[in-house]
Amino acid sequence: MKRIHISILILALAAASACNKYVDTPEPKNELPSGLAFSDDKTATASMVGLYSNMNAFNYYYANVLMSYLSGMQADEMAYLSAFASYDVFRLNNLLPNSQYVQSMWRDQYTFIYHANAVIEGVTASPNISAGVRDQLLGEAYFMRAFLHFYLVNMYGNIPLILTTNTTENNVKPQTPATEVYKQIISDLTEAKKRLADNYQSANRVRPNKAVATALLARVYLYTKQWSAAEAEATLVLQDGKYALLKDLNTVFLANSREALWQLMPVNVSGGRNTWEGFTTVPASATGLPLFRLDTTNLIKKFEAGDKRLANWAGTRTTTTGATIYFPYKYKVRTSTATTLSEFSMVLRIAEQYLIRAEARIQQDKLSDGRSDLDSIRVRAGLGVLPASLDKAALLLATEQERKVELFAEWGHRWFDLKRTGRSTAVLGPIKGTNWQATDTLYPIPSDAIRTNLNLDQNDGYK
C-alpha cells in the first residue's frame, strides 16, 4: 500500500486529457495537476471521471485485458498462443506471491480505491458543490469503492478494507474477514443507490447510474446467498425500460448498446484502437493467428448445436496444419479508420441480471420462474426452451452452463462462479491434473504488500 499516493498522481496525469470524454462540459482549466480538485462542480466531476479514464488508459490493466483473460486461463476458458511465464502461472494454477500480475492487480485496485476515497472526502468537505452534483459524485465514488473491493475479496480473500486516504493507517491495516468486506460492499452500494440519478450523466453509459449500483448489488447478494434480495434487485434492473436483451448478438458490445448497464469508454485510441480487448484478441490480419485462444475441449465443444453465441462471439482461424483455432470475438474492432468509436469496454450488462435472477429463483424453489429467465437467454441465442421436467439440481447446472457460454471471457465470471458454488475442484481438478489444489481458488497476497505491511497474513497454499 506504500507509494499509493504517488501512483494516483501519475495515473491521473496520464489520463487527464481523456476526462472530458466522460462529461458534456469541457475539462476545467483550473484543475490541479493531481487531477483531484473539488473547488466547484466542474473540477469535482473531472476528479471523479478521471478514475474511469485511469482504469482503461493502458493495456494489460486490471480493468481490461487482465481481469478477463488471466482468469479465463485459470479456469477452463482459454490459453495463450505460446509459453509465457507471466501467463503460464495462471494457466497452470501455479501463482506465486511475486508473480507480476498478482502484484499489479492488487496495486491497481488499491490505487483506484484511494482515488474513490479521495473523491468521497473531497466532495464531502467542499462547500462549493451543488447538491445534485454532490449526490451523483458521492454515489459514483461509493459504487466504485464497492466494485473494487468486490473484485479484491474474490481474488485474494481476506483483504485490508480501505475506507479513507489516511496512508499512515492504511499502510499497516490488517486483513478484514471476507464476510465483513461484503457487509461494507453492500453498505456502499446501498448508499450509492440512494444518491445516484436514474439517468446517465452524459450521452454515453460510462458513468454509473442507479441501475448500475442495483445490478452490482444483485450480484453481491447472489454471491452471499441472499437469494430473495438478489432476485429483488435484479428484478428492479430488468424492469427498467432503458435496458433490453438485443436480438442481434453482434450489437451487444457496441458503444451505448441497450444491453449495456456500464461501459468504460476507450481513452487511448492512437492507431485506430477502440477497446483494448479488441486490439488484443482480434488477429492483426485476415490470416494472422490470435494471441489468446479459447479452449476447444472445455469451452467450444460445450456449446449446444445452433448456439448463436458460438457463431457470433468466437472467431476462428485455420493453421497451416488445418487445425481450427478459436478466439474471443465479442469485440470485433482491432483498429479502425472511423473517427467515431464503435465499441466500448463492457463491464456490466443486462444478460447477467437474467442469470442472477434465474439462479436466485431456483435456489428459492421457484423453478418455473427461474427456468423462464434461463429461457430468455437461451431463446436469444437461438436455442430451445428447457424441459419443464428439470428438477432443482438440473436447473442449477443449466444455470452454470448458461453463465459459462454467455459470459465467457468477461470479467472473471467463470472463475468466480466455480469458486462461489464450490465447484472448482470438481470441474477444474480433472482438467488441471496435478497442478490443481483447492487453495488455488484464491490468489496469494503479493509479496510487496506483505513486505511493506507486516500485519498481512499469506493465504493458505502459498506460505
Q: State whether residue 152 is helix, strand or coil.
A: helix
Residue 170 belongs to some domain of the structure: yes
Distance in angstroms (rounded) separating the CA atoms of residues 112 and 155: 16
pLDDT, position 58: 81
Residue 271 CA: distances (Å) to CA of 59, 161, 275, 334: 14, 39, 12, 10
Percentage of residues in the chain having pLDDT higher than 90: 86
pLDDT, position 270: 87
Amino acid at 452: T
Q: Is residue 4 pLDDT above 80, yes or no?
A: no
Residue 138 belongs to some domain of the structure: yes
Residue 275 belongs to some domain of the structure: no
202: domain range?
Answer: 4-258+346-429
Distance in angstroms (rounded) separating the CA atoms of residues 249 and 288: 24
Looking at residues 321-350, what average pLDDT do you find? 95
Q: What is the CA radius of gyration of the chain?
A: 21
Looking at residues 294-312, what average pLDDT do you find? 98
Residue 137 belongs to some domain of the structure: yes
Amino acid at 24: D
Residue 177 belongs to some domain of the structure: yes
Residue 322 belongs to some domain of the structure: no
Residue 416 belongs to some domain of the structure: yes
Write the pLDDT tens digit of every residue in 359-418.
999 999 999 999 999 999 999 999 999 999 999 999 999 999 999 999 999 999 999 999
Contact 378, 241 (CB under 8 A): no
Q: With cut-offs at 50, 70 and 90, classify the pLDDT of residue 8.
A: very low
pLDDT, position 23: 53
Whichever domain contains 181, its CATH number is 1.25.40.390
Looking at residues 39-48, what average pLDDT do you find? 94
Q: With cut-offs at 50, 70 and 90, classify the pLDDT of residue 65.
A: confident
pLDDT, position 64: 84
| 199-205-208 Cα angle (round to 5) | 65
Residue 115 belongs to some domain of the structure: yes
pLDDT, position 21: 58
Write the pLDDT tens digit of every residue in 72-97.
999 999 999 988 999 999 999 999 99
| pTM metric for this prediction | 0.93
Looking at residues 203-228, what average pLDDT do you find? 98
pLDDT, position 204: 95
pLDDT, position 6: 36
| Domain count of the fold of the chain | 1
pLDDT, position 185: 98
